[in-house]
Amino acid sequence: MTTSSNDQPRVAGSQTLDRGLRALELLSEAAEPLSIASLAQQLGVHRSSAYRVLRTLEEHRFVVRDEAGMIRLGPRLAALGRGAAESLQQAALPELSEIANAFGFTSFIAMLDHDEAVTLLSVEPTHGHATVAQRPGVKHPLTRGAPGYAIESSLNPAEHRTVFAGEPLSEAAAQVRGRGFAISQDEVIPGLTSVAVPLRVINEPPSALAIVCIGLPDNIESLASALREAALRIERAAH
């Protein structure tokens, strides 16, 4: 066994791949392009090691560098992303667009990934003021934020034991089961509110259909109702 920079045990021979995948994660989470020095520091490796990882990712167009040498994700990742949960994405895109433009909020699909909610697909309204960007790949713990609560509420007992290591259903998830939607304020990012409903598509991980906005929406009940109806249409279309 070997140990990565974050002290998690890895199978021997996987260290280079692990660093490359971690580099992609860091770039996806960064608010702006990263320098090679910053990337090396966050990976916990020497700059020369980070450069070797970077060169391989560049060759495959997973990352690109601008004239100043700053690194960002490349176009090849977009092509790969289209293949993830393809039927779900195809069914969800028109529904996300309709919700975003009807209510003026960014709409998105969040999907369970181990113990996190990861944004799979998002749509910003065509006409809107001070909308919030929700980039695919953004993630947060299931234990914080409306999408996480909505996903937890949809888990059956066996799934819940696996994800939450035997912990009981959270109060927030129990509330979702009672009223049909989740709402959170200032939990993931200060000043932002999210409203979400469960979304279950056969052969895909548990997900949530959600919106994110600045402040508290005035029409939460009608918004939640629209989300629930859209989730049902997505579930039927994606089968």
Phi and psi (nearest 5°) for 189? -130, 125
pLDDT category of residue 15 using cuts at 50, 70 and 90: confident
Q: What is the predicted pLDDT for the residue at 6?
A: 43
d(CA 233, CA 215): 28
Predicted confidence at residue 154, as pLDDT, reads: 97
Predicted confidence (pLDDT) per residue in 87-112, tens digit: 888 889 999 999 999 999 999 999 99
Return the pLDDT at 59. Answer: 86
Q: At what angle do helices 36-43 and 15-29 cross, to 10 degrees?
A: 120
Q: Please tell me the predicted confidence (pLDDT) of residue 5.
A: 40
**Residue of 34, 70, 39 lying closest to 52 (CA atoms):** 39
User: What's residue 206's pLDDT?
Assistant: 94
Instruction: Say if residue 11's pLDDT is above 90.
Output: no
Rounded mean pLDDT of 54-72? 86
Token pair belonging to 71: 């690194």
Is there a contact between 182 and 151 (Cβ–Cβ < 8 Å)? Answer: no
3-state SS record for the chain: CEECCCCCEECCCCHHHHHHHHHHHHHHHCCCCECHHHHHHHHCCCHHHHHHHHHHHHHCCCEEECCCCCEEECCHHHHHHHCCCHHHHHHHHHHHHHHHHHHCCEEEEEEEECCEEEEEEEECCCCCCCCCCCCCCCEEECCCCHHHHHHHHCCCHHHHHHHHCCCCCCHHHHHHHHHCCEEEECCCCCCEEEEEEEECCCCCCCEEEEEEEECCCCCHHHHHHHHHHHHHHHHHHCC
Task: Convert the pLDDT of each residue in 119-172 to its tens digit.
Answer: 888 999 987 666 787 777 788 899 999 999 999 999 999 999 999 998 999 999
Domains assigned to the chain: 2-79 (1.10.10.10), 83-237 (3.30.450.40)
Most confident segment among 18-32, 71-85, 99-113: 99-113
Residue-level pLDDT at 125 = 92
pLDDT of residue 170: 96
Percent of the chain exceeding pLDDT 90 equals 52
Look at residue 1 in the predicted model and tell me its pLDDT: 36
Write down the residue that tokens 């299931």 correspond to: 142
**In this predicted model, which residue has the larger pLDDT, 122 or 75?**
122
Alpha-carbon gap, residue 229 to 147, rounded angstroms: 16
pLDDT of residue 236: 92
